[in-house]
Structure 1
Amino acid sequence: MLPVVQVFRRDAPGQWWPEGADVFQLLWCPNTHWDPPFPQADASPVVEIRWRRAADLTPAPFRPPAPVRQEDDDYGFTPLPCLLTPIPLTDFPYPQELPGGLREDVRRLVEETGGEEGGEDIITRVAGCKFGGWPTWHLTEPYTILCRQCGAEMTLLFTVASDATTGITVGRWGDLRVFSCSADIRHGYDFDVH
């Protein structure tokens, strides 16, 4: 497993943090898994999420072992070392999920920022990593993901988007999305690549 991202609660406050945790870590296997274990996404890296306490982390950084690659080195699941700059922002849901007047305003902004064609829309498809917000729907129409334990609607917890800065390429320049149960984060996660 390779460390992909580590985020401190102070840099990304929100309702997604479990009680007692102030560090979020996302790790993944740097290889494509075509038949991954449930509930991982097909044709993506297998992901592990860890919620930690900063007080329990070792102060000295360690160098993870080199990954055993089954793909070409430039395939994209081996992130380049970098620092994330936390930036609070408001992203928007897919325009079809908005009420009429606002839908047209967002659609206009999408067109002004590169349009939906080619997926370069920076209004409803934020680049980089993000907590919360809205999932992108550049490949399909929006659909609801339900918790397998309680049936509650799952919400977007975290996104790792393809990004030239980090060197990550997910699928065909897409996003790895992690959804969590809106009723209880302990119900687990649902992963997909979009």
Structure 2
Amino acid sequence: MTRTTPPRPVSVEAVFPELAAHRGRTTRLHPRRGSPGPYDSHVGGPLLWPADEPWPLCHEPHQPETEGHAPDEIRAARAAGTRPESRPWPAAGAPAGGGPVPFTGLAQLFRRDVPGLAAGPGGADLVQLLRCPRTHGRHLERRYLLRWRRAEEAERAERLPAAPEPALLPWEHELPEPCVLHPEEVDTYPWAEDDTLPAPLIARIDAWDDAQAAEHGPDAPCYQYDLSIPPGWRVGGYPSWASTGPMDVDCTACTAPMRLLLTAEGGEADGGSHSWLPLEDRDPSRPGPHALLRDDSVTAPTRLRFGRDRDLHVFTCPADPAHPPQWLLA
């Protein structure tokens, strides 16, 4: 099934014609639970990983844990509609958190499936995103990995039949739910704060938001949440900065301003972003935020979390995509 974003509640360029010069495109991925295979674009499915390439392990010290969940028990509990039981962590409190940990595959995207997906090093057209399921340091930092491939070469190679998994995961939300994708391109506009847009335009946007709320109440359209950047997993476009405020992201290798490759988000929709909810996922008999189906397969299809319900922005260097990527929670 396709996913169709409804028209915006207000034509933003009719209200602010200057925004036409800043209009961009982003591809909403619309992950929905399913059974993707290794040759598909997906979130949470099996990665197309060559059999002769070692699966990545995180060798850094990890924060010690006291209890966790076995991956197969998480899957069984989800199938039964229950919560998985926790069990004591082996050698709880051991220094360095117990040795190397396999990365968890979060997503893979083929350029043939996803409009707007930037090319990788050497024209690579398949990108895979992985995360260490454990935290690091007193600030509970996370470690991510981006792996680029040429799809034609990866599809010809003998495939690793199954990725290794840790015996226990510290939280249920470290295990992604397999999701198929329904890519859809939509217009997008910059986050309006600091110097992301000209200061007089931002001031007009803020004043318009205030006037809308005063006239129409809390469900009135708002630039940041209804007219600029859609929620959920998306490729390209502009980053959202709700938690941190705008940040400059420059390449550590060449200092070039980096571009947004991918945004991953735990939720697909909530009461504040209900206007972006696809038509196919709405209750047509209920208006406004009440049209949001109370079904976590729509509101949180991947079951993943990034920070304290933040967006994970993955940036790459447009001058040389082989330069190290950067990760920001915003």
Give 1:47 deviation, angstroms: 1.0
Tell me, in whole angstroms, the C-alpha distance in 2 between the residues paired with 1:29 and 1:179.
Answer: 18
Tell me, in whole angstroms, the C-alpha distance in 2 between the residues paired with 1:168 and 1:122.
Answer: 23
Does the alignment pair 1:168 with 2:304? Answer: yes
Cα pair 1:178 1:192 within 8 Å, conserved: yes
Secondary structure at the counterpart of residue 10 of structure 1 = coil
**Which residue of the other structure, out of 143, 153, 168, is the alignment partner of 1:56?**
153
Does the alignment pair 1:150 with 2:286? Answer: no
Q: Which moved more, 1:147-156 or 1:7-16?
A: 7-16
Does the alignment pair 1:5 with 2:111? Answer: no
Cα pair 1:20 1:53 within 8 Å, conserved: yes
Secondary structure at the counterpart of residue 11 of structure 1 = coil
Cα pair 2:129 2:147 within 8 Å, conserved: yes
Render the CA deviation track for 1:85-142: whole Å, top value 9, x for unaligned.
111122221123234458629x6499745786xxxx2544533322211111101221
5+ residue gaps, structure 1, are 36-41
Q: Which structure has the larger Rg over C-alpha atoms? A: 2
Larger helix share, 1 or 2: 2
Secondary structure at the counterpart of residue 186 of structure 2 = coil
1:170–1:101: structure 2 CA closer, same or farther, 3 Å change rule?
same
Render the CA deviation track for 1:6-57: whole Å, top value 9, x for unaligned.
111022243721343121111111222336xxxxxx6343111111122223
TM-score by length of 2: 0.48
TM-score by length of 1: 0.77
Which 4+ residue blocks in structure 1 deviate beyond 6 angstroms? none
Tell me, in whole angstroms, the C-alpha distance in 2 between the residues paired with 1:77 and 1:124.
Answer: 30
Tell me, in whole angstroms, the C-alpha distance in 2 between the residues paired with 1:125 and 1:68.
Answer: 38
**Which residue of the other structure, out of 6, 10, 21, is the alignment partner of 2:124?**
21
Alignment match, 2:287: none
Q: After TM superposition, list the pairs within 5 Å mapping 1:1-194 onto structure 2.
A: 1-14=103-116, 16-18=118-120, 19-34=122-137, 43-58=140-155, 62-73=161-172, 76-96=173-193, 97-99=196-198, 100=200, 104=205, 108=209, 112-113=220-221, 121-163=225-267, 164-194=300-330
Tell me, in whole angstroms, the C-alpha distance in 1 between the residues paired with 2:315 and 2:161.
Answer: 29
Cα pair 1:44 1:170 within 8 Å, conserved: no
Secondary structure at the counterpart of residue 187 of structure 2 = coil
Tell me, in whole angstroms, the C-alpha distance in 1 between the residues paired with 2:222 and 2:174.
Answer: 26
Root-mean-square deviation (CA, aligned residues, Å) is 3.1
Cα pair 2:104 2:131 within 8 Å, conserved: yes
Cα pair 1:77 1:170 within 8 Å, conserved: no
Secondary structure at the counterpart of residue 50 of structure 1 = strand
Q: Count matched residues.
A: 182
Q: Percent identity?
A: 33
Secondary structure at the counterpart of residue 174 of structure 2 = coil
> Higher relative contact order by CA 8 Å / sep ≥ 6: 1 or 2?
2
- What is the one-letter code of the residue matched to 2:107? V
